[in-house]
Amino acid sequence: MRKVLLYYLFTPVADPEAVRLWQIALCEGLDLRGRIIVSEHGINGTVCGDIESCRAYVRRTREYQPFHDLEVKWSSADEQVFPRLRVKVRAELVSFGAPGELRVDEHGVVGGGRHLSPAQVDQLVAERGDEVVFFDGRNAFEAEVGHFAGAVVPPVEHTRDFVEVLDRGDYDDLKHRPIVTYCTGGIRCEVLSALMRARGFDEVYQIDGGIVRYGEQRGDDGLWQGSLYIFDDRKTITFSDHAAQVGRCALTGAPTTTYYDLDRLPDDLVTALGHAPGDVGQVLLCDDVVARYAKAR
């Protein structure tokens, strides 16, 4: 059994390259794998390893004063979910393509949406009903297997597309409604909510801890529907044994929650899906389709 850590912290970092080298040495010494991004705005990472190594990693990372308040979300995996360790310095912790717009101080992102706990999210909806808009801050394909009830899902392929969508005015009709932004662990909404507020959206919220925190506390008995897409070998996770199957097979329309990498599928199946052999990306497929094409090879 392995543990998977997911975390981020917006705080000024004076020397991102020094932090990168320190994180590499720390993770290699603890036999942790994963992905970590460091910038002048803070740190964003997910790593996997045995429980004692993960505990040591959290403890030692928090010893660095700027990261003292680092909050970490824990989950479990049967085996290592990352093939290698990658630690990089980038201009942005999340690639919105707007590093010049983001302001960060020791308290986090300046001008972001108000944080709501899962209970406060439910309370807001109970009090204001259909006036509340859930706004998905992820890439559109992630919402295919799970989303909040009635959510607005912008048709974006990459996080950097959000700025163009907002500047184009596609959602200007929502500027005076209460908007709850949400994403996997919360980091994308730290930035997205600030970008929205800077563009005149006057009541913007974000879920503290993202979908992960909401699912941990409410399971599938709240406003979340389906599975959660995650960026490691597990592909998706659920929060209970009665999660709704929101996803649909790209070929048959049958319910499914399973993503497959296009470049690992038989060429005839890739062609049937409207792609060319060698294309990269992910697609939702039911087990029957995959088994049928595998048998025909």
- Catalytic sites, residue numbers: 183
Burial class (CB in 10 A: 0-12, 13-18, 19+), 217: middle
Residues 6+ apart with CB under 8 A from 161: 154
Assigned token pair, 283: 């697609």
Chain centroid to CA 51: how far?
23
DSSP H or E run through 189: helix 187-198
Assigned token pair, 184: 């996997």
HSE-CB of 41 using CA atoms within 13 angstroms: 23
Nearest to 30 by CA among 9, 61, 1: 61
Assigned token pair, 235: 């592909």
Neighbours of 28 (CB within 10 A): 12
Burial class (CB in 10 A: 0-12, 13-18, 19+), 85: middle
Question: Distance between CA atoms of 247 and 253, rounded to whole angstroms?
Answer: 9
Residues 6+ apart with CB under 8 A from 25: none
Question: Distance between CA atoms of 235 and 130, rounded to whole angstroms?
Answer: 31
